[in-house]
Chain A
Amino acid sequence: MKTIKMLILILFFSVLAYGTVDLPYRGDPDNLMNRETSITGTPVAGNYYIRKAYEDAGTINMVTVVLADYRGVDTLGEQVVIYSAGLITVLILRRNRRR
């Protein structure tokens, strides 16, 4: 039984390793998913980010530019979600003290 498990694991690992051989280089605007228009003909936002992120914000890390500049309102919402989660722990857990 143990050898079968090991064989299945090795098989799965080799399938995954074979899959990584063909992965495209990340951040390349010529990739299929980063071209200006997608397969269905709609415009792709990622192409603009890759080409213009450094010119727009002077920042090398394009993930930071997307997170904080292009999608800044979304990050503000995330922060408010974390803040409200913290406040909820105050409301729920501090009530125990007064009982």
Chain B
Amino acid sequence: MRTQYDSLIVLLGARFLSPYIMMFGLYVIFHGHHSPGGGFQGGTLLAASVLLVRVAGGRLVARRQIKEFITTPLAAVGVVIYFATGMTALVAGGSFLDYGHLPFPGINPVLLRYYGILSIEIGVGLAVMSILIMIFDNMAKGEDFV
């Protein structure tokens, strides 16, 4: 996990597959309103695309993609996006997570609910992606000290 894989085929295969998996993950997150999908599933796919490069490429390649120390703040940002959406609706006069009261003038409540759902799905996807990467990083780090 920490060193680069010996076989060139594995490395090039991971390099080839990773962007397509990432694109599909983004599609699953943003198209969750119209087809099966959502934040949890899309975040898992994004994490899979990052972890594929991490397993194949080793530590030095992984550092260039997403650094290890940035995953914990990203996970917190994902949770905060979700919570802030709910608190904004609460402050603007509705109840907690009632997206119809989000303070964007000129948009009817139905469309506000549409964008509220999209905003929390992005938060969930970000949190799930960075938490899965964080778990993998910590387990791969513990491998050397057993």
Main secondary structure of the interface of A (DSSP, over half): helix
The answer to whether A86 and B33 have CB atoms under 8 Å apart is no
B129 smallest CB distance to A (angstroms): 11
Give A62-89 interface residues, CB cut-off 8 Å to B.
Answer: 63-65, 67-69, 72-73, 75-76, 78-80, 82-83, 85-87, 89
- Bound form: Cα–Cα A52–B145 in Å: 56
Give A41-99 interface residues, CB cut-off 8 Å to B.
Answer: 55-61, 63-65, 67-69, 72-73, 75-76, 78-80, 82-83, 85-87, 89-90, 93-94, 96-97, 99
The answer to whether B141 and A94 have CB atoms under 8 Å apart is yes
- Bound form: Cα–Cα A56–B114 in Å: 9
Q: Of B75, B96, B113, B124, which is within 8 A of A73 by CB?
A: B96
- The total of chain A residues at the interface (CB under 8 A) is 32
The answer to whether A64 and B38 have CB atoms under 8 Å apart is yes
The answer to whether B35 and A96 have CB atoms under 8 Å apart is no
Main secondary structure of the interface of B (DSSP, over half): helix
The answer to whether B145 and A68 have CB atoms under 8 Å apart is no
A86 smallest CB distance to B (angstroms): 4
Given the interface pairs A79-B79, A96-B142, the reply to whether A69 lies near B111 with Cβ below 8 Å is no
- Bound form: Cα–Cα A8–B2 in Å: 47
The answer to whether B120 and A75 have CB atoms under 8 Å apart is yes
B139 smallest CB distance to A (angstroms): 6
- Bound form: Cα–Cα A40–B136 in Å: 48
The answer to whether B117 and A76 have CB atoms under 8 Å apart is no
The answer to whether B33 and A64 have CB atoms under 8 Å apart is yes
Question: B-side interface residues toward A, CB under 8 Å?
Answer: 32-36, 38, 40, 72, 75-76, 78-79, 82-83, 86, 96-97, 99, 110-111, 113-114, 116-117, 120-121, 123-124, 127-128, 130-131, 134-135, 138-139, 141-142, 145-146
Which 8 pairs from chain A and chain B are nearest by CB?
A86-B131, A72-B97, A57-B113, A93-B138, A68-B117, A93-B142, A96-B145, A58-B110
